[in-house]
Structure 1
Amino acid sequence: MNGRYSSENLYSQIFNRLLDVIPDLQSIDEVGLSEVDGNWPLHFDVVSRSPTKLIIMLGHSRAEDGGVVINPEMTIAVYLDRGMAEALTYRDAHMSNSVYSPDRSHIDILAKRVLNDYLYTWLGNLIVAGHSIKVACKQEFFSN
């Protein structure tokens, strides 16, 4: 196995890519939005924050046919003190997946690897597309 795929290295790379997409990640406490022509809007929300850990939701969604289409939406744990981040959940219009059981007593190792690989690639695609989260007023954010 080469040095490229160690989970610690991957989690650090995910953290660095998150900083590229969300430059104010370490201090942001708001919802945020990135809009790039030709792409679905990218929504951001802080789910919870402690001094060392941040749980965020990041996803593409848009109104369509009277409902909201999600493609995809991920919950991500960010370990601010360690400079690492990992995928917790994935959801799109067709499926959802979680790394941890609801009581966090079991870890789905395959889901953990697949979701973190997906998150790493997705963040790279967001960077190439030019997405950058800007803080949005909550009223403005939810009226879009």
Structure 2
Amino acid sequence: MAEKIKGADAFVFVTGEYNWSVQPGLKNLTDHFLEEWYWRPAAIVSYSAGRFAGARAGFAWHGILSEMGMVVISSMLAVGGIGQAFDAAGEPAGESGAALTRSFPRFAADLAWWTEAARVQRGRAPPPY
């Protein structure tokens, strides 16, 4: 798993909210490794059944991932009412799906920009630690 993490140029963390915070299984995975995450961009997608869309977990992850040496992009996707946000074919549906459709292009462009910037910089110079 360490080599898979090290081989990635960026990460998208898709996380539900668990008791107003991060999911313990995903937190355990990130804690098991450390330097494998360094100097890679991270994007956060949060979701929940409620109207807060997992935003509390997303905000918690922002600090955690930054402390792990990752560059967390400023764009964040938060999907509320996850049970109604997609139709049977997995396509965005309803109000939450429409919001996701509107937000995704900026989110993807932001992650792509930071991914390319980090890839170029890692090729130019080794990370400082």
TM > 0.5: no
Larger RCO (alpha carbons 8 Å, 6+ apart)? 1
Q: Which has the higher strand share?
A: 1
Q: Which has the higher helix share?
A: 2
